[in-house]
């Protein structure tokens, strides 16, 4: 029997999750408790270690990732729950963590629980926790990126970038306002910086802001049509991961 905990301050969301678990999964999963606030979280994890935690990304004034840094032993499996996909999902997906969007869908819940039972659910280690924490917190507010150019540094809001294109050791940035900025850094360097902020490398030469995708057209790899009408080829080896990412946008 897998023992689980719900960390959730929204009554309706917690009750729905409890109902879905009791209705279809009570033979394999047993609810230990439902934690609703900071004091309950602190007290419970001082002496308990469940097998699985459904953890709301935002609870009170802290994120789940901040809470997890304060728990001495967090070797349990985690399924994050969130209703704020516009900034939560890029950070979670970039670190290959499991999540459910609210309101929780019964079929998606069942798929996540299968991964828990087969122990194929991604593990949140210290490295991925640090990465997702750094990526998630700044992403709640508008964020700028510094682009080294021939004349100096240009500071550009991340949300204004539609796509980035490699050109040997340079990268061209295409912005919503139609401008093109050329930076003296490689696309690989920017991929590391932007992949947790909703960008995905669809091809060796292209890093795309997934919030700017208007259409995906099928093919060997297919191609994307962005909101400005530009078309970007998708590498066949990136196709499946891309389609999975797009489901959250």
Residue 71 has pLDDT above 60, yes or no: yes
What per-residue confidence (pLDDT) applies to 196? 74
Residue 159 has pLDDT above 80, yes or no: yes
pLDDT (average), residues 145-169: 92
What per-residue confidence (pLDDT) applies to 139? 46
Q: Do 131 and 19 fall within a single domain?
A: yes
* Number of domains making up the chain: 2
Average pLDDT, the chain: 86
What per-residue confidence (pLDDT) applies to 195? 82
Strands 77-82 and 99-101: parallel
Q: Do 110 and 147 fall within a single domain?
A: no
What per-residue confidence (pLDDT) applies to 140? 47
Q: Show Cβ contacts of residue 227 under 8 Å, excluding neighbours closer than 6 positions.
A: 162, 212, 213, 214
pLDDT (average), residues 181-210: 90
pLDDT (average), residues 196-215: 92
Residue 202 has pLDDT above 80, yes or no: yes
Q: Do 85 and 191 fall within a single domain?
A: no
What per-residue confidence (pLDDT) applies to 156? 94
Q: Do 6 and 105 fall within a single domain?
A: yes
pLDDT in tens, 9-24: 999 999 999 999 999 9
Question: Which string of DSSP letters, residue by residue, matches the chain?
Answer: -EEEEEE-S-HHHHHHHHHHHHHH-TTTEEEEEEE-SHHHHHHHHHH---SEEEEESEETTEEHHHHHHT-S---SEEEEEES-HHHHHHHHHHTT--EEESSPPHHHHHHHHHHHHTT-SPP--HHHHHHHHHHHTGGGS--EEEEEETTEEEEEEGGGEEEEEEETTEEEEEETTS-EEEESS-HHHHHHHHGGGTEEEEETTEEEEGGGEEEEE-SSS-EEEETTS-EEE--GGGHHHHHHHHTT-
Residue 150 has pLDDT above 60, yes or no: yes
Percentage with pLDDT > 90 across the chain = 57
Q: Name the burial class of residue 170, with classes exposed (0-12), middle (13-18) and buried (19+) by CB atoms within 10 angstroms of its CB.
A: middle
pLDDT (average), residues 80-106: 74
The residue range of the domain holding 99 is: 2-139
- CATH number where 152 lies: 2.40.50.1020
What per-residue confidence (pLDDT) applies to 88? 59
Q: Which residue did the predictor score with more confidence, 14 or 63?
A: 14
pLDDT (average), residues 82-89: 64
Choose one of 80, 109, 139: the last residue of a domain: 139
Choose one of 139, 160, 181: the last residue of a domain: 139
Contact 4, 22 (CB under 8 A): no
Q: Do 60 and 122 fall within a single domain?
A: yes
Q: Do 134 and 165 fall within a single domain?
A: no
Q: Do 167 and 79 fall within a single domain?
A: no
Q: Which of 138, 128, 137 is nearest to 58 (CA)?
A: 137
Q: Do 31 and 86 fall within a single domain?
A: yes
Contact 177, 160 (CB under 8 A): yes
Q: Do 163 and 111 fall within a single domain?
A: no
Backbone angles phi, psi at 184, to 5 degrees: -90, 45
Q: Do 77 and 160 fall within a single domain?
A: no
What per-residue confidence (pLDDT) applies to 94? 59
Q: Do 116 and 14 fall within a single domain?
A: yes
Q: Compute CA 232 distance to the chain's CA centroid, rounded to the nearest angstrom.
A: 23
- Euclidean distance between CA atoms 107 and 105, whole angstroms: 6
* Least confident segment among 75-79, 134-138, 196-200, 219-223: 134-138
Percentage with pLDDT > 70 across the chain = 85
Choose one of 139, 157, 172: the last residue of a domain: 139
Residue 133 has pLDDT above 70, yes or no: no
Q: Do 159 and 132 fall within a single domain?
A: no
Q: pTM, whole model, 2 decimals?
A: 0.54
Residue 44 has pLDDT above 90, yes or no: yes
């Amino acid at each position: 029997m897998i023992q689980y905990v719900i960390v959730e301050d929204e009554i309706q969301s917690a009750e729905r999750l409890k109902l879905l678990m009791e209705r279809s999964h009570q033979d394999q999963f047993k609810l230990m408790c439902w934690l609703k606030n900071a004091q309950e979280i602190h007290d419970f994890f001082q002496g308990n270690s469940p097998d699985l935690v459904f953890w709301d990304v935002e609870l009170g004034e802290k994120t789940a990732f901040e809470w997890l840094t304060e728990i001495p032993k967090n070797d349990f499996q985690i399924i994050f729950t969130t209703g704020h996909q516009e900034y939560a999902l890029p950070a979670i997906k970039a670190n290959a963590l499991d999540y459910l969007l609210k309101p929780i869908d019964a079929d998606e819940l069942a798929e996540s629980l299968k991964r828990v039972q087969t122990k194929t659910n991604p593990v949140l280690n210290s490295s991925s926790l640090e990465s997702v924490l750094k990526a998630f917190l700044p992403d709640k507010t508008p964020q700028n990126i510094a682009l080294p150019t021939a004349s100096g540094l240009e500071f550009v809001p991340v949300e204004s970038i539609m796509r980035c294109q490699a050109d040997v050791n340079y990268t061209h940035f295409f912005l919503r306002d139609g401008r093109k900025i050329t930076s003296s850094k490689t696309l690989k360097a920017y991929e590391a910086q932007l992949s947790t902020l909703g960008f995905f490398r669809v091809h060796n030469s292209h890093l795309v802001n997934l919030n700017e995708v208007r259409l995906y057209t099928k093919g060997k790899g297919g191609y994307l049509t962005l909101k400005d009408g530009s078309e970007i080829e998708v590498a066949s080896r990136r196709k499946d991961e891309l389609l999975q990412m797009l489901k959250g946008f």
